[in-house]
Amino acid sequence: MASTDLTTVLNECIDRLTQGETVEDCLRAYPQYALELRPMLEAGLLTKRAAIAPLEIQIAQERARANFQRAIRTTPIRRSYPIRQVLALAAMLLIGFIVVGGGLSAASQNSLPGDTLYGFKLFGESLQRASNGNTSELDNQFNNRRLDEIRQLLAASRAAEVTFIGDVQIIQGNTWLIANLPVEVIASLPGIGSIQIGDTVRVTATTTTNRQLIATKLELIDDKVTPTTTPTLTFTVTPSNTSTLTPSATVSVTPSATVTTTASASATQTPSPTRTGTASPTPTASTTATLSPTSSATRTATRPVQTATPTVCTPQRPSGWVDYQIRSGDSLSALAAASGITIAELQAVNCILEPNRLIVGQVIFLPRSVTVNPPGNDNNSGNDNGTSEDNQNNSADNQGDDSGGSGSDNSNDNDDDSGSNDNSNDDDD
């Protein structure tokens, strides 16, 4: 019954689905198989519908985070290289630098990130820094070189990873002006809630071929305020099923300039015994941990509100764009592909905090109306609630114990079970 043809065509269609096309797109490409293909593809797509409720995933992720962090803290590095090899490598590097270093570092002066010689440029700078007393002036000079390089990369439409330091001049939606460079800053970047105009930041970013500078990391290196006290911050967040928080913040200031901030967020559902004061379940909440206290009570008072509701980014409809309501099965990549823009652009315009999380029913802006998904049936939220409640009772049990006991340590080998219960190359029934 199943011809080899149909097997191949099915595979072709699954590939198309993974690339953001719809069932209908593929059926149009293979009209002669449409009748048989449609139910197969629809059946396969049901696995997507079976997806686990976001809340459940989030709870599991937060509970398991401690294990991961402990592993990072405690796992020793066992990657040892034979000492002789290390010495030989060091000697070669040294000789290499002495012989050709001068020439290369001169030749590398005009290189840009991504160029072969660029490493020599940085290496040359680090030597200069090491041999010079006034490093701050040098750093300034080198930072200006970084900024020049970025302008050149952007002008040449080249993609590369870059780092620079600059003052935040403007924050307008997701577009920030830092050191006179427009930087795309996605609202979900960790730590950005505490960054304000006037702060000096170290920016790690990538330039794109369409001449954008997209931040991948922002670090506050000077917030222009000297901390006088260490604030105690108690943060209790109970995430709702839709991950929208209704925050309320209370701030009390005592004459001794000790600032106590309590932010709480109420939600429709209580998923687990609430975790207090530790890693908070929402990405936005965690930024409050980096808060530095200020002498002015007003600034501190506004911050918890800022962090609980990301006011940094408000979606604004660019002219000509249309509303689109997220449906089950939609993905940002598919929507971006269907509307002919990049995922980053979609995120930027719509302030989508996490590119891999879309919520059904959420309305976003698209440059034009698209059809990426056949109308699905989304009456399953009730069931999601049911399953996520399953693990509410057990949340405290297994936080502490190590979960390493679940089997033999075969993490690296492809375990060979190809003979177990399938005969791999039959394609008939």
Partner 1 sequence: MIVIVLPDIATEDRLLAAARRNDQDAMMHIYDIYFPPIYSFIRLRVADTDTAEDLASDVFVRLVSAMRSRNAPHHSLRGWLFRVARNLINDHYGRSRKITEEVLEEWVPSPNDPDPEVQFFRALDIERVRRALRMLADDQQEVLLLRFSQMLSLQETADIMGRNVGAIKSLQFRAVNTLRQILGEYRMEGERG
CA angle 131, 135, 137 (to 5 degrees): 125
| Site membership for partner 1, residue 83 (CB under 8 A) | no
Closer by beta carbon to partner 1, 50 or else 130: 50
| Site membership for partner 1, residue 404 (CB under 8 A) | yes
- Which of positions 275-314 make contact with partner 1 (CB under 8 A)? 283
| Site membership for partner 1, residue 15 (CB under 8 A) | yes
| Site membership for partner 1, residue 49 (CB under 8 A) | yes
Closer by beta carbon to partner 1, 256 or else 414: 414
DSSP 192: G
| Site membership for partner 1, residue 45 (CB under 8 A) | yes
Closer by beta carbon to partner 1, 44 or else 310: 44
Q: How far apart are CA 285 and CA 275, in angstroms?
A: 12
Closer by beta carbon to partner 1, 72 or else 98: 72
Which of 24, 38, 251, 305 touches partner 1 (CB under 8 A)?
38
Residue in 297, 314, 74 with CA at minimum distance from that of residue 175: 314
Which of 25, 39, 295, 353 touches partner 1 (CB under 8 A)?
39
Candidates 121-129, 133-141, 178-186, 412-420; binding stretch for partner 1 (CB under 8 A)? 412-420
Q: Which residue has the tokens 């001794």?
A: 256
| Site membership for partner 1, residue 85 (CB under 8 A) | no
- For residue 254, the minimal CB distance to partner 1 (Å) is 35
Which of 134, 136, 226, 426 touches partner 1 (CB under 8 A)?
426
- Which of positions 342-371 make contact with partner 1 (CB under 8 A)? 355-360
Q: How many CB atoms lie within 10 A of CB 66?
A: 14
- Which of positions 313-342 make contact with partner 1 (CB under 8 A)? 328-333
CA trace torsion 52, 56, 60, 61 (10° rounding): 80
Outline where DSSP puts E strands in 328-376.
363-366
Q: Say if CB 343 and CB 336 are below 8 A apart.
A: yes
| Site membership for partner 1, residue 32 (CB under 8 A) | no
| Site membership for partner 1, residue 28 (CB under 8 A) | no
Write the interaction track for partner 1 spanning residues 158-197; mark x where CB under 8 A is met and - where it is not: ---x------------------------------------
Outline where DSSP puts E strands in 288-419.
322-325, 363-366
- For residue 263, the minimal CB distance to partner 1 (Å) is 22
The 10 Å CB-count burial string (b at 16+, else e) for 407-425 is eeeeeeeeeeeeeeeeeee
The 10 Å CB-count burial string (b at 16+, else e) for 14-32 is eebbeebbbbeebbeebee
Residue in 179, 185, 184, 177 with CA at minimum distance from that of residue 210: 184
Q: How many CB atoms lie within 10 A of CB 273?
A: 10
- For residue 48, the minimal CB distance to partner 1 (Å) is 5
Q: How many CB atoms lie within 10 A of CB 251?
A: 17
Q: Say if CB 205 and CB 214 are below 8 A apart.
A: yes
Candidates 43-51, 98-106, 124-132, 265-273; binding stretch for partner 1 (CB under 8 A)? 43-51
- For residue 131, the minimal CB distance to partner 1 (Å) is 26
DSSP 275: P
| Site membership for partner 1, residue 387 (CB under 8 A) | yes
How many chain residues interact with partner 1 (CB under 8 A)? Answer: 99
Closer by beta carbon to partner 1, 29 or else 305: 29
| Site membership for partner 1, residue 75 (CB under 8 A) | yes
